[in-house]
């Protein structure tokens, strides 16, 4: 499908029963994007750009994707179609090979796994990691530029991602120890935080996402 040069592609937000889809759509529309909720393999196959949001448990997310026949279609558009995809929170973790939270394999697009934060008895920090925290951008990327003095985002998660390939890491954050807050490989991007809950910081990131997919289109 061709896209007019002055118009960004429609952004599909995947509803697989694991997240507040409407808050993501509202944020995209607020910053000038066009977004639609999708839920079927046919809709995924036709997506120009896709956001994979999510909250909840890893295995539950993978079960819901498989039950709807979405996992194989996602793999086709991500790997073969090279459709731009942004994973948010659980969506980012599902892009990995797996999680210590469960036993099912993930989508496997990144050589990475999610591991639980140490218990509060060890660090003095409550789990889940919930609230605002500051990012450190570690490589050039289209969504989280180096030149911003401060980048603060809202997190809610009990599991943190470990990347086997450090070249995939875009940004880190500290909560007792350093963890991966964002990663990217080609057309695939994931963030552990919730941009749709991160006010002006999230709005700025979503604007850059729209600009990025417009250029790629």
User: Residue 78 falls within a domain, yes or no?
Assistant: yes
What is the per-residue pLDDT for 148? 67
Catalytic residue among 64, 101, 173, 196: 196
Is the model's pLDDT at 2 over the cut of 50?
A: no
Answer yes or no: 194 catalytic.
yes
- Three-state DSSP at 183 gives strand
- How many Å apart are CA 4 and CA 8, to the nearest integer? 8
What is the per-residue pLDDT for 17? 93
Best CA proximity match to 87, nearest among 60, 134, 117, 49: 49
Is the model's pLDDT at 14 over the cut of 50?
A: yes
Span 195-215, average pLDDT? 94
Is the model's pLDDT at 117 over the cut of 80?
A: yes
For 141-185, write each residue's pLDDT tens digit: 999 987 767 899 999 999 999 999 999 999 999 999 999 999 999
User: Residue 34 falls within a domain, yes or no?
Assistant: yes
CATH number at residue 139: 3.40.50.880
Number of independent structural domains in the chain: 1
Measured over all CA atoms, what is the biggest interatomic distance in the chain, rounded to whole angstroms? 56
Span 45-62, average pLDDT? 96
User: Residue 3 falls within a domain, yes or no?
Assistant: no
**Structural domain boundaries, residue 108:** 11-216
Whose tokens are 């910053």? That residue is 31
User: Residue 2 falls within a domain, yes or no?
Assistant: no
Catalytic residue among 64, 101, 157, 194: 194
User: Residue 180 falls within a domain, yes or no?
Assistant: yes
Is the model's pLDDT at 58 over the cut of 60?
A: yes
What are the angstrom distances between the C-alpha of 133 and each of 28, 150, 158, 189? 22, 10, 14, 20
User: Residue 193 falls within a domain, yes or no?
Assistant: yes
What is the per-residue pLDDT for 202? 96
What is the per-residue pLDDT for 131? 97
Computed on alpha carbons and rounded to an integer, the radius of gyration of the chain in Å comes to 16
Is the model's pLDDT at 191 over the cut of 70?
A: yes
What is the per-residue pLDDT for 121? 84
User: Residue 141 falls within a domain, yes or no?
Assistant: yes
User: Residue 5 falls within a domain, yes or no?
Assistant: no
- How many Å apart are CA 171 and CA 160, to the nearest integer? 13
Catalytic residue among 89, 96, 129, 157: 89
Counting residues of the chain whose pLDDT is more than 70, the rounded percentage is 95
């Amino acid at each position: 499908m061709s896209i007019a040069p002055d118009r960004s592609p429609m952004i599909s937000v995947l509803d697989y029963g694991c997240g507040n889809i409407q808050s993501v759509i509202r944020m995209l529309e607020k910053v000038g994007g066009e977004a639609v909720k999708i839920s079927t393999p046919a809709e995924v196959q036709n997506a120009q750009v896709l956001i994979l949001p999510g909250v909840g448990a890893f295995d539950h997310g993978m079960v819901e994707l498989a039950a709807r026949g979405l996992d194989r279609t996602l793999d086709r558009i991500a790997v073969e179609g090279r459709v731009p995809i942004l994973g948010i929170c659980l969506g980012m973790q599902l892009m990995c090979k797996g999680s210590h939270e469960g036993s099912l394999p993930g989508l496997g697009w990144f050589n990475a796994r999610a591991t639980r934060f140490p218990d509060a008895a060890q660090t003095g920090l409550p789990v889940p990691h919930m609230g605002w925290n500051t990012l450190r951008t570690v490589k050039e990327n289209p969504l989280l530029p180096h030149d911003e003095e401060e980048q603060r985002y809202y997190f809610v998660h009990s599991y943190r991602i470990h990347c086997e390939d450090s070249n995939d890491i875009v940004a880190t954050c500290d909560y007792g120890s350093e963890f991966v807050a964002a990663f990217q490989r080609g057309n695939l991007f994931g963030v552990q935080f919730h941009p749709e809950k991160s006010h002006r910081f999230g709005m700025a990131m979503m604007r850059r996402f729209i600009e990025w997919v417009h250029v790629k289109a």
